[in-house]
Amino acid sequence: MAELGFVMGGLSYTYENGVTSTDPFPPSNDPVIILGKKYSSVFDHKKLKKVVQTLPWFTYRKGFNPIGGTGPTSDQGWGCMLRCGQMMLCQSLVNLHLPPNWTWSIDSLGGSPAYRKVLDMFLDKKSSCYSIHQIASMGVAEGKNVGQWFGPNTVAQVLKKLTSYDDWNQIVIHVAMDNTVVIEDIKSLCKTPHTSSGVNLQFESDTSITTSLYRDPSLSSHLSPHTSLTSSESWDGHVWRPLLLMVPLRLGLSCINDIYMRSLKRFFELPYTVGVLGGKPNHAHWFIGYTGDDLIFLDPHTVQPMVDTDTHDGLWDDSSYHCTAACRMNISNLDPSVALGFFCRTEQEFDDLAQILQHEKNSIAPMFEVCLKRPTHWPPLNTGNPHGTDTVFTVVPSPKYDTDDEYELV
């Protein structure tokens, strides 16, 4: 494996083949597109570094408490797609709670209370709603043993189930199936009030988190006007819960089909995008943009020690959750099994996104369909608990979207 690295906070990071330069943004006439925004590698070089540094970066960790009480204490070699799912969801929650121009700084120990509250939901401890412990344990419901590699669809389905325990954000994760986004279904889900599951999230042997864990009244006084709304309040006259729309796709057989390359690059230019989960054999990545024919991504394949936040009175160092450089790989090297992500805070934003997607299909090869109503041959939409009505572990297999056998553990 070829190695290219940089050092931050005393840790050395190495990357796989496919990184084109130690500087991911060398001067070029090609624009750099990151999560719906356009930059110049010539005139915006410092800004690009700051943009990347502000994004959440979740990597392999070691030294956390055993998953399930007796399971692994590190996710090295199997947790890369789980970490990528964390990055996409964390960025969605940052978009929900923080102003669009918010930036992270290595000097701001403590940082924004809202940001710290978001980050806490992903820490490597059993009490965090979206921790590696809870994602890996909930994966059992999707037929994945703890320590087994996830595909893009599996991590999407698991995160969807975990949202029922998230009373603070009350987010809807909708996983579009059969390459189809149904507008009517999404509106129905987002207008259904969040209902606490009534079940402790107790997949671990000795601890649990309750659905009220993240209701912290003291936080509201610290939030900016941008974050003053909660999803249980009226966004525009009625209840609308924020939406993370995830679209699992297969864009080819063994490699991405050429007809979708332009469409995938165009996806990164759209507003409301929160990136792509995918990768190539051996590695999963969170893709955040492109320049030229190269995709830009954050790489979780770095092993770092677990951050112990319990002994620092809330002022722990969060620099290991941010990196100073993104990576690049040619789009032709992308494995065709991916999951696209869109985040919409309000119904107006979703209506705007739906209109954009309808318009886009007239100019480029569409990667998925957008329709107003649910196809007649589909079963009725279930707007209730994503776990189902009979058991916490209702398995809804969708094997055609996951190609775990094409990925090797590292």
Which sequence positions are flagged as catalytic? 80, 299, 301
Q: Name the phi and psi angles at 174, rounded to 5.
A: -110, 125
Taking the CA of residue 173 as centre, how many other CA atoms within 13 Å lie in the half-sphere pointing to its CB? 31
Helix (H) or strand (E) holding 294, with range, is strand 294-298
| Selection from 359, 343, 358 nearest residue 171 by Cα | 343
CA distance 180 to 162: 23
Q: Name the phi and psi angles at 77, rounded to 5.
A: 90, -10
Terminal-residue alpha carbon distance, the chain: 11
Residues forming beta bridges with residue 291, ordered by sequence position:
32, 294
CA distance 333 to 288: 16
Alpha-carbon dihedral 378, 380, 383, 389, rounded to 10 degrees: -110
Query: Which pairing describes strands 283-291 and 273-280: parallel, antiparallel, or unpaired?
Result: antiparallel
Alpha-carbon dihedral 140, 162, 375, 369, rounded to 10 degrees: -100
CA distance 209 to 77: 27
CA distance 409 to 79: 9
CA distance 98 to 62: 30
| Selection from 18, 25, 22 nearest residue 4 by Cα | 22
Helix (H) or strand (E) holding 286, with range, is strand 283-291
